[in-house]
Amino acid sequence: MSHLPHPPLSATRRRHRGRNLLLGGTAIGALIAGAMAVPYAGAAEGPEQIVNGDFSAGTAPWWWTENSPASVVDGELCAEVPAGTLNPWDAIVGQDDIPLVAGEGYELSFTAHASIPVTIRTNVQMAVDPWTTEHSSADQITTEPVTVSHIFAADADHDAAQLAFQIGGSEEAFTFCLDNVSLTGGAEPPVYEPDTGSPVRVNQVGYLTEGPKSGTFVSDETTPLAWTLNASDGTTAATGTTEVFGTDPTSDQHVHTFDFSEVTEPGEGYTVTIAGETSEPFDIGDGLYSQLRSDALAYFYHNRSGIEIDADLVGAEYARPAGHLNVAPNQGDDNVPCQPGVCDYTLDVTGGWYDAGDHGKYVVNGGISVAQMMSEYERTLTAEHADGDPLGDGELRVPEQGNGIPDILDEAAWQLDFLMKMQVPAGEELAGMAHHKIHDENWTGLPLLPHNDPQLRELHPPSTAATLNLAAAAAQCARLFEPYDAAFADRCLTAATTAWQAAVANPEIYADPNDGTGGGAYSDNNVTDEFYWAAAELFTTTGDPVYREHLVTSPLHEDTDALFPRGGLSWQSTAGLGALTLATVPNEFTAAEMTGIRARVTEAADGFAADSQAAAYGVPFAGTNYVWGSNSQVLNNMVVLGTAYDLTGDSKYSDAVLRGMDYLLGRNPLNQSYVTGYGERDSKNQHHRFWANQLDPDLPNPAPGSVAGGPNVEIQDPVAQDLLQGCAPAMCYVDHIESWATNEITINWNAPLAWVAAFVDDLEPGDGNEEPEEAACEVTYTSYRWSSGFTSYVEITNTGTEPVSPWELTWSFADNQQITHHWSSQITQTGQDVTARPAAWNGTIAPGASVSFGFNGTSAGQVADPTAFQLNGGTCTTA
Ligand code: 9MR
């Protein structure tokens, strides 16, 4: 008997995103049990629902798809599956007419083997559209017979459900054999208990030698307890007593905290023991984050679209062919049409980064991600302790090594080029706007390598939010690439200004919140913040007063909470990115305006630092509203804290950043390190289509340095819904590949991880950061004096080998000089201290080149010219 192929999309695949959820059934089983320690309930007792599960009566009533003929061989049903099917559902063996009762628990079991190892998908589902699944699992079948069993509960009544073994998706042909298939009711649905390991919670990577060192202990004890810090040789390194915290509202756990900050003896393999319980091991030392700084950025190369991922850069395990270059079965991305009715042109939108576990590319989100990457670089030009060397040419995993451009900018350029390709061409309706996104027409299944994606790719309508993401990112591009690739910088500036103008002309074109088939919606109906961010970047790059006017009249400008919402910056809340740029990158704000914007950064950081101090687990995040991507909200708060540290040098901010790292790397209610490859109990099964080892042992786990989305109280995916109902906010997480709402990885979460990893790596003493930078400048100061005043000219020459951009020259007057008027630079004076920053056109001093500026001032009596000048913190020689 044969059967027509089934419609390709199972309900599991279609209910991919929050707003479109079809609430499906409970599917808990061996797959999860293997990884997550799900206790099984007693065996099922109800009547057998499968007819002829042992094939003693031949093949009836089993069916199979035409491409996979099956017959009974030695008492088993064996199907011959052809080579070259793409999706699991392209070849199926199944049985229909299975009655299921809502609320009832079922046990499904079968024995199977195959001529090659394969991962099949086992679904109990509706037999007709919408194919809602009551159970879905990925089962690994080997050449030896394996017995698989799953327990699940039915959510709905079904007169005639279907058991479908989806056996497609293999490049090779194989034989699949099945026996002893059974489905019985009466099983008690299992209760999920997360394995949280030791109640002593620490940063599983370690603590910086001079940094704060604290942990959390889960215990019902209400009086302080003794803690011991053990060195790796078993000796006691320190002792102390815990502080009783009480009940932590994020986890409902009763906890104590402990602090061993005074220990500064570097070492590996420390542990903390309290009341007989011992933590995971950790280090004390420096250099703990230098690898993370690099790994977090390598994430972006790994996820590039339209380019082969080179084994020489990432290792054979992670190498893969280029995706979406119109090589079959790919259909894109070099001539992508719009969704029907949206436009009648096609665009070449190759390149860029895949957003996340999916193969979509979104301008909203793509923009903030590349902006934060550029800010990580820009920080090395503006912050005294930031080290640009580890981000420089030849340092990172990018194929552009050796081109004379810092590698981090090469990575950013890959995405910027794509973002600009998303702009509506001149002459078309809405020219200058950016298409919101490009992605598959329908959701694809997991696992799937990008070059195997057979779906049609489509451009979605332009939106104001996307256009402003482009304007902001491209404006930042223009100033950063200027010293390295003037043509690219020009292209960026043109894209940025045309995008800005298009957004001003079309300020309320919003993406459809229901446009979530085949890709995420990323809809945002409030773009006041995107306007602010884009204006800030354009103003910083060009100095054009039009943008200043927009900034200072924005309702957000003087509102710290609006710029930096308590829940953190995100793709929906971008104004803070603009404020961080204004506060740190030289621009044409007046001294008072600069003071104001910096005060808003430090005010926000004060709040996050206080939140961290008050939290049971030290996390710089207020309250219990852990939403989709909560780890990125935490990381973005850490970016604000890090920037406040850069502005003030106050360690209360850097300490809070480090406590945020502790939280992400294991000091949390689940004892979970959320970053792959870091810590003893790290996330390994994040939702991703080609880092899908949990579904196919031939595929790798996510590359080291990939941060999971993290706890999410809304648990929008079926695995989280099955396992985590009633979870405490900071415990609504499961390291399972199908839990996209808690365990996805994305560019906009790894970008702040990379920023923060660089920040904490820069904090370490001993890597040269504490030393003043080598003088790479010469200053000529010429002054003409008269009785009550003077005119001075300053020439700065870059005597180093790297461009200085933007520059900032500081000096102190020895006497009572007061600058009254200046030209060709922006000057602020506080008492005797003076800071000069570039005008709009002279922000970069190339190696060997000079810039000049001048000023008039008043003075009384004899005054001496200044003789000591610092360029971006480094001491200049004077001519
Ligand atoms: O990060 C996004 C989160 O804030 C939203 O609540 C969620 C549902 O719309 O979508 C998330 O973004 C996903 C995007 O839509 C598609 N690519 C993967 C993203 C991360 O899960």
Assess whether pLDDT exceeds 50 at residue 34. Answer: no
- Provide the phi-psi class of 376: left if phi over 0, else alpha when psi is between -120 and 50, else beta: alpha
- At residue 439, what are phi and psi to the nearest 5 degrees? -160, 180
Ranges of each domain in the chain: 11-185, 200-285, 777-878
pLDDT tens, position by position, 699-734: 999 999 999 999 999 999 989 998 999 999 999 999
The DSSP result for 63-75, as a single string, is: EEBTTS-EEEETT
Tell me, what's the pLDDT at 44? 62
Q: Residue range 31-47: average pLDDT?
A: 46
Tell me, what's the pLDDT at 741? 98
Instruction: State the Cα angle at 60 between 58 and 62, rounded to 5°.
Output: 115
Amino acid making up residue 344: D
Sole residue written with tokens 């689940």: 670
Residue nearest to atom 13 of ligand 1 (CA): 520
Residue 17 CB–ligand 1 contact under 6 Å = yes
- At residue 451, what are phi and psi to the nearest 5 degrees? -70, -10
In a 3-state reduction of DSSP, which class is residue 223?
coil
Residue 738 CB–ligand 1 contact under 6 Å = no
Residue 397 CB–ligand 1 contact under 6 Å = no
Assess whether pLDDT exceeds 50 at residue 37. Answer: no
Return the ligand 1 atom nearest residue 358 CA. 17
CB 123 within 8 A of CB 136: yes
Range in 241-255, 639-653, 735-749, 837-851 the model is least confident about: 837-851
Residue nearest to atom 19 of ligand 1 (CA): 356
Q: Residue range 571-577: average pLDDT?
A: 98
Q: Which residue among 628, 715, 745 is best mutated to probe the pocket of ligand 1, counting the most ligand atoms within 8 A of its Cβ?
A: 628
Residue 355 CB–ligand 1 contact under 6 Å = yes
Return the ligand 1 atom nearest residue 519 CA. 16
Q: Residue 788 C-alpha to ligand 1 middle, in angstroms?
A: 64
**Rounded to an integer, what distance in angstroms lies between the CA atom of residue 165 and that of residue 149?**
13
Return the ligand 1 atom nearest residue 716 CA. 8
Tell me, what's the pLDDT at 21? 25
Burial of 172 (0-12, 13-18, 19+ CB in 10 A): exposed
In a 3-state reduction of DSSP, which class is residue 341?
coil
Residue 21 CB–ligand 1 contact under 6 Å = no
Q: Residue 357 C-alpha to ligand 1 middle, in angstroms?
A: 10
Amino acid making up residue 730: A
**Rounded to an integer, what distance in angstroms lies between the CA atom of residue 138 and that of residue 10?**
13
Tell me, what's the pLDDT at 14? 30
Return the ligand 1 atom nearest residue 523 CA. 9
Range in 159-163, 560-564, 602-606, 871-875 the model is least confident about: 871-875
Q: Residue 354 C-alpha to ligand 1 middle, in angstroms?
A: 13
Q: Residue range 337-362: average pLDDT?
A: 98
Instruction: Kindly indicate whether the domain formed by 777-878 is annotated with CATH number 2.60.40.290.
Output: yes
Q: Which residue among 353, 744, 750 is best mutated to probe the pocket of ligand 1, counting the most ligand atoms within 8 A of its Cβ?
A: 744
User: Which among 268, 88, 100 is positioned nearest to 164, based on CA atoms?
Assistant: 88
Three-state secondary structure string covering 450-496: HHHCCCCEEECCEEHHHHHHHHHHHHHHHHHHCCCCHHHHHHHHHHH
pLDDT tens, position by position, 111-153: 999 999 999 999 999 999 888 889 988 899 999 999 999 888 8
pLDDT tens, position by position, 219-242: 999 999 999 999 999 999 999 999
Name the band, by pLDDT with cuts 50, 70 and 90, for residue 332.
confident
Looking at the domain that runs over 11-185, which CATH code has it been given?
A: 2.60.120.260
Mean pLDDT over each residue of the chain, to the nearest integer: 92
Tell me, what's the pLDDT at 847? 86
Catalytic residue among 410, 655, 744, 808: 744
pLDDT tens, position by position, 460-473: 999 999 999 999 99
Tell me, what's the pLDDT at 30? 32
Fold match flag (11-185 vs 777-878): no
- Exposure string of 820-831, with b = 16+ CB inside 10 Å and e = fewer, is eebebbbbbbee
Q: Which residue among 439, 443, 737, 746 is best mutated to probe the pocket of ligand 1, counting the most ligand atoms within 8 A of its Cβ?
A: 746
Tell me, what's the pLDDT at 765? 63
Q: Residue 154 C-alpha to ligand 1 middle, in angstroms?
A: 28
User: Which among 404, 426, 552 is positioned nearest to 488, based on CA atoms?
Assistant: 404
Residue nearest to atom 21 of ligand 1 (CA): 744
Q: Residue range 243-270: average pLDDT?
A: 98
Return the ligand 1 atom nearest residue 687 CA. 21
Return the ligand 1 atom nearest residue 629 CA. 1
pLDDT tens, position by position, 61-107: 999 999 999 999 999 999 999 999 988 999 999 999 999 998 888 99
CB 810 within 8 A of CB 869: yes
Q: Residue 792 C-alpha to ligand 1 middle, in angstroms?
A: 55
Q: SS3 breakdown of the chain: % helix, strand, coil, rounded to 5?
A: 30, 25, 45
Name the band, by pLDDT with cuts 50, 70 and 90, for residue 191.
confident
Q: Residue 31 C-alpha to ligand 1 middle, in angstroms?
A: 25
Range in 135-144, 413-422, 517-526, 576-585 the model is least confident about: 135-144
Residue nearest to atom 6 of ligand 1 (CA): 628
Name the band, by pLDDT with cuts 50, 70 and 90, for residue 172.
very high
Catalytic residue among 248, 286, 458, 735: 735
Residue nearest to atom 4 of ligand 1 (CA): 628
In a 3-state reduction of DSSP, which class is residue 614?
helix
pTM, full prediction: 0.79
CB 446 within 8 A of CB 412: no
Q: In what order do the strands lie in the sheet with 833-838?
A: 825-830, 833-838, 809-812, 869-871, 874-875
Tell me, what's the pLDDT at 7? 32
Residue 744 CB–ligand 1 contact under 6 Å = yes
User: Which among 213, 220, 194, 234 is positioned nearest to 275, based on CA atoms?
Assistant: 220
**Rounded to an integer, what distance in angstroms lies between the CA atom of residue 415 and that of residue 224?**
52
Q: What percent of the chain shows pLDDT beyond 90?
A: 81
Pairing of β 174-185 and β 105-114: antiparallel
Q: Residue 437 C-alpha to ligand 1 middle, in angstroms?
A: 13
Tell me, what's the pLDDT at 828? 85
In a 3-state reduction of DSSP, which class is residue 364?
helix
Reply yes or no on whether 735 is catalytic: yes
Return the bridge partners of 179, or none: 111
- Exposure string of 60-92, with b = 16+ CB inside 10 Å and e = fewer, is eebbbbebbebebeeebbbbbbbeebbbbbbbb
Q: Residue 530 C-alpha to ligand 1 middle, in angstroms?
A: 18
**CATH fold of 200-285:** Immunoglobulin-like (2.60.40)
Return the ligand 1 atom nearest residue 356 CA. 18
**Rounded to an integer, what distance in angstroms lies between the CA atom of residue 585 and that of residue 581?**
5
Tell me, what's the pLDDT at 16? 31
Q: Residue 720 C-alpha to ligand 1 middle, in angstroms?
A: 15
Return the number of other C-beta atoms located less than 10 Å from residue 656's C-beta. 29
Tell me, what's the pLDDT at 45? 74
Q: Residue range 392-398: average pLDDT?
A: 97
Residue 746 CB–ligand 1 contact under 6 Å = yes
Residue 18 CB–ligand 1 contact under 6 Å = yes
Q: Residue 630 C-alpha to ligand 1 middle, in angstroms?
A: 12
Residue nearest to atom 12 of ligand 1 (CA): 520
CB 219 within 8 A of CB 257: no
790 or 1, which is more confident:
790
Residue 360 CB–ligand 1 contact under 6 Å = yes
Return the ligand 1 atom nearest residue 522 CA. 15
Q: Residue range 404-417: average pLDDT?
A: 98
CB 708 within 8 A of CB 733: yes
Please measure the distance between the N-terminal and C-terminal CA atoms of the chain and give it in whole angstroms: 94
Three-state secondary structure string covering 255-281: EEEEECCCCCCCEEEEEEEECCEECCC
Q: Residue 781 C-alpha to ligand 1 middle, in angstroms?
A: 55
**Rounded to an integer, what distance in angstroms lies between the CA atom of residue 868 and that of residue 876?**
7
Return the ligand 1 atom nearest residue 520 CA. 15
Residue 520 CB–ligand 1 contact under 6 Å = yes
Residue nearest to atom 3 of ligand 1 (CA): 628
Which spans in 691-775 are helix H?
718-724, 740-743, 747-763
User: Which among 853, 843, 851, 846 is positioned nearest to 806, based on CA atoms?
Assistant: 843
Assess whether pLDDT exceeds 80 at residue 4. Answer: no
Q: Residue range 154-158: average pLDDT?
A: 90
Tell me, what's the pLDDT at 46? 82
Residue 358 CB–ligand 1 contact under 6 Å = yes
Residue 629 CB–ligand 1 contact under 6 Å = yes
Q: Which residue among 16, 17, 353 is best mutated to probe the pocket of ligand 1, counting the most ligand atoms within 8 A of its Cβ?
A: 17
Q: Residue 632 C-alpha to ligand 1 middle, in angstroms?
A: 12
Residue 567 CB–ligand 1 contact under 6 Å = no
Q: Residue 565 C-alpha to ligand 1 middle, in angstroms?
A: 19
Q: Residue 748 C-alpha to ligand 1 middle, in angstroms?
A: 10
Q: How far is CA 265 from the centre of its chain?
A: 33
Residue nearest to atom 14 of ligand 1 (CA): 520
Reply yes or no on whether 104 is catalytic: no
pLDDT tens, position by position, 761-788: 999 664 333 333 455 899 999 988 888 8
Q: Residue range 17-34: average pLDDT?
A: 29
